[in-house]
Amino acid sequence: MFASTKSRLTRAALIATTLALSAAVAGCGSGQAGTGGEGAGNTEGLPATVNLLSVRDETGVTAYAGLGAVRGSEVAVNEINSSGFLGQVELVMDRRDAAGTAQTAASLASEGIASKKYSAILGPILAVESRAIAPIAEKSQVPVVFTQSNSEGVLIGDFTFRATAPFPKYYDVMGQQLQKKGITSIGVLFDAQTASYVETATKVIPEWEQKYGIRVVASKEVQSNTQDFTASISSLLAEKPSAVAAYLLGAQHGTFLKQLRQAGFTGPVIAANGAGNGNLAGAGADGVGVSWPTAFDPSAPEASTQDFVKSYRQMFPDKAPNIYEAEGYDAVWWIARALKAANSADPVAVQKGLVEVAATGFDGAQGALRFEGNDLRATPKIVQWDGAAEVASP
């Protein structure tokens, strides 16, 4: 079951939420969560309803990723409820829109925690938002499972988890692929407001010269609202790189690639997960062949991956699942397994359940999931855009 503040809360529910929030704020000086309210108040045995709070970008520049995570989570909730995985318990996910701002994300998380309604939070995809929520979750002892948020400062304690394998930790596979193609130099263009892109551009790729003989000959910063890349492209190409790395957001990819090809560059272009979700469609033929590493390939043969793809297609027949959907799905199944292990909806018990599940791992949309502490690790797969879809890179 899903609820959105935009369309699905009744007047009665709004009044009830307001009253619960007021009461909780008045009495939550200890910072403890989960001691009252529907779903999160029982310390032993699961209640009839368990509530999760989704705080993700449903509008704004990164809505493509936030909504993807929401859709994946919805598929998981539907599976869990229809299969009876938690017995007669109904799992409910309430949706809130962080709208791409850290302040909004933190406020929504604080309100949800104060209501003492939620057993866990499904956190946002932007690291800047996740870093704002993380200390709130730790202080209140309510577990939050992030997706994306690929940078340091997100997992800061026992109550912060991540269902994404941070791509800077496996991005070297792109260097290996470029080395096999005989690439010896690269120009890098990156969004300076996205922490994981900054880390990849300034720390990971510069190490490729020593590892793979690929030297960074030019590096340019842009902003998340940049639409004219001609000056940056001119500066990059002046150094004659044999490949280009572009770390951008959403529709920026199409604009950049068109301008890059118009400037005469014909070499390989590598990217990150932001190139997925159909964001290269706007580039037309200029986007064909752009490649990036990911923890999810919908064509992978693993049974758990194909089960997810089938379930996703049943709920969203007009959309193809990608990494954001897969991570949102795995995050909810991680929590569901934690609820079952803990036999409690109390947030502190759920945190212990999350740790227990992570210790053994499980099979999910991204394949066999293994964890390093509270953080997912994955075997990367390289995909590329063929003009219509993401496909395995040869």
Contact (Cβ atoms closer than 8 angstroms) between residue 90 and residue 81: yes
Structural domains of the chain, ranges and CATH numbers in brackets: 2-165+303-378 (3.40.50.2300), 168-294 (3.40.50.2300)
Considering only CA atoms, which of 19, 91, 15, 18 is closest in space to residue 49?
91
Considering only CA atoms, which of 251, 184, 188, 257 is closest in space to residue 219?
188
DSSP string, 335-394: HHHHHHHHTB--HHHHHHHHHHHHHH-EEETTEEEEEETTEEE---EEEEE-SSSEEE--
Taking the C-alpha atoms of residue 321 and residue 69, their distance in angstroms, rounded to an integer, is: 10
Tokens of 237: 């190409």
Total-model pTM: 0.81
Q: Please report the sign of the dihedral spanned by the C-alpha atoms of residue 66, residue 71, residue 72, residue 76.
A: positive
Residue 271 is classified by DSSP as: -
Who's near 135: CB < 8 A, 6+ residues apart? 156
Q: What does each of the 394 residues of the chain score in pLDDT, given as a tens digit?
A: 544 443 333 333 333 333 333 333 333 433 333 333 344 544 469 999 999 999 999 999 899 999 999 999 999 999 999 999 999 999 999 999 999 999 999 999 999 999 999 999 999 999 999 999 999 999 999 999 999 998 889 999 999 999 999 888 889 999 999 999 999 999 999 999 888 899 999 999 999 999 999 999 999 999 988 999 999 999 999 999 999 999 998 889 999 999 999 999 999 999 998 898 888 999 999 999 999 999 998 888 999 999 999 999 999 999 889 999 999 999 999 999 999 999 999 999 999 999 999 999 999 999 999 999 999 998 888 999 999 988 888 8
Q: Other CB atoms closer than 10 Å to residue 388's CB: what's the count?
A: 11
Structure-token match 């690790």, residue found? 377
The half-sphere exposure of 230 on its side-chain side, counting CA atoms within 13 A, is: 3
Taking the C-alpha atoms of residue 62 and residue 69, their distance in angstroms, rounded to an integer, is: 11
For the chain, how are helix, strand and coil distributed in percent, rounded to 5?
A: 45, 20, 35
Geometric angle at alpha carbon 101, from 99 and 102, rounded to 5°: 135
Residue 284 is classified by DSSP as: G
